[in-house]
């Protein structure tokens, strides 16, 4: 039994390592022009999440520190369903808004930071509530219900 678990672990590593190597900015969608400016996809290098549980209000808040790299000048895009209470970009408070992907899709939503940045390494510090928004009936299989 121990040999089977070890063999399974080795096989999982062999499969997962190449997938991780493929996860980089070269596989991101193309950057695009929006009414706000040049919208650029970013490559997360490291992310840490600190959660605070408040039992008196039955709430959870997250502070996410994300180090990222961008390879083109523009306004960084990322995905966050919850509305952040604050975003700092390289230590500066920045504004943000939700935008749609360019035509013909116009379905995918992104959060864009309304600050132009140069290519390089940058850091987000994002404060946001953690709210349960999971809805399996409408999110993943609406045609099956």
Give the pLDDT score at 15: 52
For 97, phi and psi rounded to 5 degrees? -155, 165
CB atoms within 10 A of CB 73: 14
Which residues is 61 bridged to in the sheet? 52, 129
Q: For the segment 1-39, what is each residue's pLDDT rounded down to a tens digit?
A: 444 444 545 545 555 555 444 456 666 678 889 889 999
At residue 94, the pLDDT reads 97
CA 96, CA 115: separation in Å to the nearest integer?
Answer: 8
Q: Do residues 55 and 28 lie in contact, with contact meaning Cβ atoms separated by under 8 Å?
A: no
Whole-prediction pTM value?
A: 0.70
More confident residue, 14 or 72: 72
DSSP secondary structure string, the chain?
A: -HHHHHHHHHHHHHHHHHHHHH-SGGGSPPPEEETTEEEEE-EEEEEEEEEEEETTTTEEEEEEEEEEEESSSBEEEE--SSPPSEEEETTEE--EEEEEPPTTT---EEEEESS-B-SEEEEEEEEEEE-----HHHHT-GGG-
Domains of the chain: 31-131 (2.60.40.1730)
Q: What is the pLDDT of residue 130?
A: 86
More confident position, 105 or 137 = 105
Cα separation, 77 vs 70, in Å, equals 10
């Amino acid at each position: 039994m121990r040999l089977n678990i070890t063999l399974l672990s080795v096989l999982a590593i062999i499969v997962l390592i190449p997938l991780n190597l493929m996860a980089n900015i070269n596989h991101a969608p193309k950057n695009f022009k929006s009414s706000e400016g040049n919208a650029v996809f970013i490559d997360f290098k490291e992310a840490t999440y600190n959660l605070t549980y408040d039992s008196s209000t039955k709430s959870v808040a997250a502070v996410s520190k994300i180090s990222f790299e961008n390879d083109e000048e523009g306004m960084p895009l990322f995905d966050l369903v919850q509305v952040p209470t604050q975003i700092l970009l390289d230590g500066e408070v920045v504004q943000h808004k939700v935008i749609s992907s360019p035509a013909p899709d116009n379905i995918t939503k992104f959060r864009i930071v309304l600050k132009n940045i140069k290519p390089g390494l940058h850091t987000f510090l994002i404060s946001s509530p953690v709210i349960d928004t999971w809805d399996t009936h409408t999110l993943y299989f609406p045609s099956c219900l």
